[in-house]
Amino acid sequence: MIKINENYNKLQASYLFSDIAKRVNSFQEQNPDKEIIKLGIGDVTKSLPKACIEAFHKAVDEMDNDSSFRGYGPEQGYDFLREVIAIEDFQSRGADIQADEIFISDGAKCDSGNIQELFSDDIKVAITDPVYPVYLDTNVMAGRSGFYKDGRYEGITYLDTTKENGFVPQLPTEPVDLIYLCFPNNPTGSTISKDELKKWVDYARENKALILYDAAYEAFITDDSLPKSIYEIEGAKEVAIEFRSFSKTAGFTGTRCAFTVVPKECMGYDAEGNKQGLHCLWNRRHCTKFNGVSYPVQKAAEAVYSSEGKKQVKETIDYYMNNAKIIRDEITKLGFDCVGGENSPYIWIDGKKGSWEFFDMLLNEAGVVCTPGAGFGSCGQGYIRISAFNSYENVIEAMGRISKIFS
Ligand code: PLP
C-alpha cells in the first residue's frame, strides 16, 4: 500500500487568491463597464531590462552553433554569474562572500522551500506572522508542526510583527533552532536596521541556531544605512543562509533566476553536537536534485550587473518606487497608518476594520483590488497590502478613486 505523507493533510488550503478572484469576477459581472485596477499582485509589470534581453538573445544564438552550444552546465551555476554576484552584491558592501558560496537556482521560492530538507525533523522553527507562506507550509509538510488550531499551527513559534514592535519581530522568548526573516518584508514592506539584525545574529550565535534570510526585495532599499545583505553584519556568515532573486530586482518572475548563499563557515550540528558545514550539505542536495539554470537565462542575469543593466534596473526600480510613494502619500493623507513603500514595493495599511471588509469596500466603491492582510497570518487581520507593481497611470487613477471614497 502506498502511504501518503499525512503532514500534507494538516495544511490549510490557501483560499486567499481564489477568494480574491471570486469577488473580483462577481464584481465585474455586476459592473461590466467598470475598469478594475489590480494593486494586489506581487508580480512585476515592466519588461526585462534591454541589456538582459540582448544578452539573452545572444546566448540563444550561441545554442544554434555546435561550437558554442552548451549542454548541461554546472549545477551550482556558471562561474561568470557567481563571480559577478560575489563582487557586486556582497564584496562591494563589505560582505566577504566568495563565488563558490553562491548557488544559482530557478527561484527563491523553491530554495527557501527546499532548504529545510537539510535539518532534522525535531528542530523548533520560528516564523513571523504575517509571513510569506512558503516558509510555514514547507515545514508543515516536513512534519515540524502539529495541527492547525485557532489560526495557527501547533509546535511553531510565531514571531508577531505588529505596529507595537514597528513590524520587526522581537527575539523569541522560548528556544528556537531555525529562524525565518525576510527584509524588506513581504507582506508588510518593513525593513530592519543593522542594529536590530545584529541582535538576531548574536542570538543565533549564542544558541547555535540558524537564520534563513530572505532578501528577495533588497533592490528596493534606497536608505543606504539599511543592510541589503545579512552578511553586512559581523558573524552572520557562521549562522545565516541568504536567499536572493532576480524576479523583483530585474523582472525575472517569468524568466526564473535566483541564488542562495551558503557560506562555508555556516554550521549545523549532528545528534552528538559535532559541527557540520551546511555548504557541503546544500551542495550535495543541489547537485542531486537540480540540474542548473539554462545558459541563456544565466547570461541574461549576468547582464543585470553590466553598466547598462545597472542603469536600466535602477530606472525600473525607481519607477515602482515612485508608484509606492504616491500610494503611501495618498493613504497617509486619508488618515490611515501604513508601513512600507519607502524601501519596498509593498505598502501595509491599517484599514481600521476587517481585512476583507476593507477589501470589499475598495473593490465595490473604487474598483481597486488589494490583498487582504489576514491571508498572510492572524497578525495581518485589519490590514491590507497594496503593491506598487503597476503602471504610473493606473496608480494615479486607483488612488484618485480611493480618495473619493473618503472625501
Ligand atoms: N521570497 C519572497 C519574500 C517573495 O515575496 C517571493 C515572491 O513573491 C519570493 C521569495 C519568490 O521569488 P522567486 O520568484 O525567485 O521564486
Show me where the domains of the chain are located.
7-47+308-406, 53-306
Number of the ligand 1 atom closest to the C-alpha atom of 247: 14
The hierarchical CATH code for the domain 53-306 is 3.40.640.10
β-strand partners of 387: 346
* pLDDT of 168: 97
Q: Mutation test of ligand 1: which of 181, 245, 253, 261 has the most ligand atoms closer than 8 Å to its C-beta?
A: 245
Task: Check pLDDT > 90 for residue 19.
Answer: no
* pLDDT of 260: 98
For Cα atoms 142, 148, 154, give the angle at the middle one, nearest 5 degrees: 70
The whole-angstrom separation of Cα 217 and Cα 374 is 21
For 370, residues 6+ apart whose C-beta sits below 8 A from its C-beta are 39, 40, 358, 359, 362, 384, 385, 386
Across the range 192-208, mean pLDDT stands at 98
**Nearest partner of 59 among 210, 255, 331, judged by Cα:** 255
Query: Is 339:190 a contact under the CB 8 Å cutoff?
Result: yes
CATH fold for the domain made of 7-47+308-406: Aspartate Aminotransferase, domain 1 (3.90.1150)
* pLDDT of 110: 96
All cell numbers assigned to 279:
555548504
Number of the ligand 1 atom closest to the C-alpha atom of 43: 8
pLDDT band at 146 (very low <50, low <70, confident <90, very high): very high
Instruction: Render pLDDT for 103-131 as a digit per residue (tens, 0 to 9).
Output: 999 999 999 999 999 999 999 999 999 99
Q: Mutation test of ligand 1: which of 45, 248, 260, 385 has the most ligand atoms closer than 8 Å to its C-beta?
A: 248
* pLDDT of 264: 98
All cell numbers assigned to 112:
527557501
Across the range 340-353, mean pLDDT stands at 96
Percent of the chain with pLDDT over 90: 96
pLDDT band at 42 (very low <50, low <70, confident <90, very high): confident
Percent of the chain with pLDDT over 70: 100
* pLDDT of 170: 97
- What is the pTM assigned to this prediction? 0.97
How high is the mean pLDDT of the chain? 96
Task: Check pLDDT > 80 for residue 14.
Answer: no
- Nearest Cα residue to atom 12 of ligand 1: 108
* pLDDT of 335: 96
Tell me how far the alpha carbon of residue 30 lies from the centroid of ligand 1, in angstroms. 34
User: Which residue is listed with cell 533566476?
Assistant: 257
Tell me how far the alpha carbon of residue 216 lies from the centroid of ligand 1, in angstroms. 6
* pLDDT of 407: 80
**Nearest partner of 286 among 154, 115, 160, judged by Cα:** 115
